[in-house]
Every structure is written in C-alpha cells, then in structure tokens.
C-alpha cells in the first residue's frame, strides 16, 4: 500500500494538498509552477557526498507504461505520483529525473524541495514506433532547464548502424550537450548500441557493445566538461568503466523476469568503480513485486551509502 505524503502550506504559493488541487492550480494559476521553481529549496550535485540515488519517471512520455509483469503499471498518474512521493521521502534519496508533466506535478505537491532534479529531453522515439530509433527532442531544452533551476538534462541516445535515422539522434544529442554546457548544466547521456529484432528495438547489453556506445557518447558536443553518462550494469564492469573518465550513474532498467538479488549484485559491482557516482532507477524501485516502494528504495540507499 502506498501512503501519499502531502506537505502543508498556506501562502499564495502554497503547495497543493491533493491531486484535485493540482488540477485547480493548473486551471486557475498556472504561473505558480514557475514561481515555485524560482523559490524552490535546491540541493545540487556539489552538495552530495559524491554518491547519488536518483529516482526516474520519464518512461510514460515515450509510451512505455509497463513495469515487470504489469504492462500498464504506469498508466495511473496519481498512483505513479504516490509512488514517486513515497520514494523521494526516503532518507538518502537525492533527486528525481522526469519530464515536465511529472516534475511540475511533484513541484506543486512540494516533493522537489531540497532535491536534485534532472529533466528528460528527448521522448520522441515512442516505444514500438517505426521511427523509434529517431529520438527527437520533444521535452525540455537547455533554456527551460536553466529557467526552472534544475541541475541538468538527460538524453536517450540509441545507436543502430542499420537505421540511418540514428545520425539525426546523434546530431541532436551533440547539440544538446553543447547547449547544456553553455548554461553550465549537466548533460546526462544514456547511450545504447541497438538493433531491430522482429520489428522491436533491442539494446545490446554485452560489455563490448556498452564500451562502444560509451566512446560514441562521450565524444558528442563541443565540450565534455559537463557530460555525465547513464549506463546499464552489465558483466565485467571494471573493463566497461575503464572506457571513460566521465562521472556515471547506473540505470535500473525494467525488472521484468529479473531476480532482485541478481539485480542488486550487478549494481554493487558497478558501484565499486570510482567513476560510478550512483544509481538512476525508476521502475525497479517504483514497482517492486511486493509493492513495498519504501522498502525497495531504502535497500538501494543502503547499497549506495
């Protein structure tokens, strides 16, 4: 059972106390979103101990609603927000990754106070689309991330040598890295070496493929000064992480068919590398098999700390 966490407030920029009030604010006072963003208590990457746990919730904007054995797990926005708020309330959780719709709901509810925030930028490669590999930038851009006083932008960058639309995604990602750096914002690049099997985009999670994707990703843009990587945990992480000096967060992936103990073991192996600075995990923590979000998140915090 998920217990909603609702902050209090009584002034003109008070946080919403219910989801109905979130909708009311969007109708009657949409400017409150920008005002709350300007006055939000911030925690930045520099304020951490160098290890972070970021909770991700940007999958729905790409039409990816499944988690584990539940194909429509993320279909309910209020249920997702309940789970996000429960996760963010666990001591040791540093922040969140999401698209504007999710982040602004959380902002109105007071759940982004004292949190690191990464904004998802390209959600145009809809799951199952014939153009899926062409991850157009349909969400945040660098200017809007800076205006919201968030910490950086994340981009999915899948590389399929058999699909010439990959070149567009690479060019857009390179431009985003450069633009984020101009604003002194982190560019979090999430690369995969991908291909189509039976019409479905599949990511190659072999160490060799991840290493190759790292080298392409870290070369994007006019500078790598603000570039971070978001990578899967795969076998032989010592060799994989030797491919880069960039700060890296390890992603969680979809827990479908996964052994939780095996997943945690791969995370622990990755976290042992000095340039791995934490986890960015979404569905694995938000939709555990027992629905104990707080317990799953607390276990991940213990692993990092």
Examine residue 13 and state whether it is found in any structural domain, yes or no: no
Half-sphere exposure of 134 (CA within 13 A, CB side): 7
Contact between residue 240 and residue 275 where contact means Cβ atoms under 8 Å apart:
no
**Rounded Cα–Cα distance for residues 246 and 223 (Å):** 12
**Rounded Cα–Cα distance for residues 235 and 176 (Å):** 30
Q: Number of folded domains in the chain? A: 1
**Rounded Cα–Cα distance for residues 155 and 170 (Å):** 10
**Rounded Cα–Cα distance for residues 276 and 254 (Å):** 20
The answer, as to whether pTM is greater than 0.75, is yes
pLDDT score of 12: 44
DSSP 8-class letter at 14 = P
What's the rounded mean pLDDT across residues 229-245? Answer: 95
How is residue 42 written in tokens?
């911030």
Examine residue 67 and state whether it is found in any structural domain, yes or no: yes
Examine residue 4 and state whether it is found in any structural domain, yes or no: no
Examine residue 24 and state whether it is found in any structural domain, yes or no: no
107: CATH: 3.20.20.70
> Domain residues for 189?
32-304
Examine residue 12 and state whether it is found in any structural domain, yes or no: no
pLDDT score of 11: 53
Of the candidates 181, 84, 99, the residue with the CA atom closest to the CA atom of residue 148? 99
Q: Does the pLDDT value for residue 6 go beyond 50?
A: no
Residues in the chain: 305
What's the rounded mean pLDDT across residues 238-266? Answer: 82
Per-residue pLDDT tens over the stretch 100-139: 999 999 999 999 999 999 999 999 999 999 999 999 999 9
Give strand pairing partners of 54: 95, 280
Per-residue pLDDT tens over the stretch 20-74: 999 999 999 999 999 999 999 999 898 888 789 999 999 999 999 999 889 999 9
Examine residue 193 and state whether it is found in any structural domain, yes or no: yes
**Rounded Cα–Cα distance for residues 285 and 127 (Å):** 21
- To the nearest whole percent, how much of the chain has pLDDT over 90? 83
What's the mean pLDDT when you consider all of the chain?
A: 92
Examine residue 8 and state whether it is found in any structural domain, yes or no: no
Examine residue 15 and state whether it is found in any structural domain, yes or no: no
Q: Does the pLDDT value for residue 13 go beyond 60?
A: no
How is residue 252 written in tokens?
């969680």
Of the candidates 211, 281, 271, the residue with the CA atom closest to the CA atom of residue 247? 271
pLDDT score of 3: 45
**Rounded Cα–Cα distance for residues 62 and 138 (Å):** 10
Contact between residue 83 and residue 282 where contact means Cβ atoms under 8 Å apart:
no
């Amino acid at each position: 059972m998920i217990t909603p966490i609702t902050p209090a407030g009584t002034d003109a920029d008070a946080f919403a106390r219910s989801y109905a009030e979130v909708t009311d604010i969007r109708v009657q006072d949409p400017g409150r979103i920008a005002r709350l963003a300007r006055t939000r208590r911030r925690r930045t990457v520099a304020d951490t101990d160098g290890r972070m746990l970021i909770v991700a919730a940007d999958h729905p904007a790409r039409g990816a609603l499944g988690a584990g054995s539940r194909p429509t797990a993320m279909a309910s926005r209020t249920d997702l927000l309940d789970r996000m708020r429960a996760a963010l309330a666990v001591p040791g959780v540093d922040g969140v990754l999401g698209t504007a719709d999710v982040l602004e709901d959380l902002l109105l509810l007071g759940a982004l106070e004292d949190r690191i925030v990464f904004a998802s930028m390209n959600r145009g490669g809809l799951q199952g689309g014939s153009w899926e590999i062409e991850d157009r930038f349909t969400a945040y851009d660098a200017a809007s991330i800076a205006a919201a006083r968030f910490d950086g932008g994340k981009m999915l960058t899948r590389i399929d040598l058999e699909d010439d639309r990959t070149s567009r995604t690479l060019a857009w990602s390179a431009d985003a890295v450069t633009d984020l750096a101009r604003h002194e914002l982190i560019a979090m690049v999430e690369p995969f070496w991908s291909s189509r099997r039976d019409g479905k985009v599949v990511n190659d999670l072999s160490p060799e493929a991840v290493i190759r994707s790292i080298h392409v990703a870290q070369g994007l843009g006019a500078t790598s000064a603000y570039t971070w990587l978001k990578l899967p945990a795969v076998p032989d992480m010592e060799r994989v992480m030797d491919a880069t000096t960039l700060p890296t967060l390890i992603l969680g992936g979809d827990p479908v068919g996964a052994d939780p103990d095996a997943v945690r073991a791969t995370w622990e192996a990755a976290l042992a590398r000095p340039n791995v600075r934490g986890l960015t995990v979404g569905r694995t923590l938000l939709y555990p098999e027992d629905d104990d979000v707080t317990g799953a998140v607390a276990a991940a915090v213990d692993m990092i700390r």
